[in-house]
């Protein structure tokens, strides 16, 4: 239902909902992943082999300008890569593992409470909020601990000298 409203709102300002735009909006909305432009291009080409990179980039820019998608950097866990998701989702935080890049979405009352506190404290009207939290997932915490242990053990080996 929300996607239909989004598609209608794109039509309202006089922008046609072309087949290519519909493909990209559907992919972003239904993938369950945070997709970058290259991955979107690959998936879109499977649906329409005539689609090209320029069309994908222009369409992403249009969807973003129309307020239908958000462009995210997700803590730059893959450099300058940007990802896209529909704006029609409930407000949430992105929780990113800085080691493996796993992305989780957190929905909950604490986000709403934080928003209210910011509005009250600063007398600020929040229109859009993005929250990103970087850290290490439970699996990567174990791997990091092992790596740190191995590094400590190898630096303390007899015969290895550290020079300053």
Q: Report pLDDT digits (tens) over 96-153.
A: 999 998 999 998 899 999 999 999 999 999 988 888 999 999 999 999 999 988 888 8
Give the pTM.
0.70
User: 90-164: what fold?
Assistant: Dna Ligase; domain 1 (3.30.1490)
Strand partners of residue 133: 95
* Domain boundaries along the sequence of the chain: 1-89, 90-164
Residue 13, pLDDT score? 61
* Residue matched to tokens 């992943």: 33
Q: What is the mean pLDDT of residues 66-71?
A: 85
Q: Give pLDDT tens digits for 29-64.
A: 888 888 899 999 999 999 999 999 999 999 999 988
Q: What CATH number is given for 1-89 in this structure?
A: 1.10.10.10
* Residue of higher predicted confidence among 10 and 76: 76
């Amino acid at each position: 239902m929300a996607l239909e409203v989004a598609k209608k709102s794109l039509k309202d300002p006089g922008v046609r909902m072309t087949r290519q735009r519909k493909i990209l909006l559907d992919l972003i909305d239904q993938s369950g992943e945070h997709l970058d432009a290259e991955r979107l291009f690959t998936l879109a080409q499977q649906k329409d082999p005539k689609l090209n990179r320029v069309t994908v980039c222009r369409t992403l820019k249009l969807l973003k300008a129309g307020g239908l998608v958000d462009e995210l950097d997700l803590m730059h866990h893959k450099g300058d890569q940007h990802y896209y998701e529909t704006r029609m989702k409930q407000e949430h935080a992105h929780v990113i593992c800085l080691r493996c890049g796993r992305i989780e979405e957190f929905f909950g009352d604490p986000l709403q409470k934080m928003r209210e506190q910011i509005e009250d404290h600063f007398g600020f009207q929040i229109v859009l909020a993005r929250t990103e939290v970087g850290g290490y997932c439970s699996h990567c915490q174990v791997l990091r601990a092992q790596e740190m242990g191995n590094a400590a053990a190898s630096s303390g080996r007899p015969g290895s000298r550290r020079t300053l």
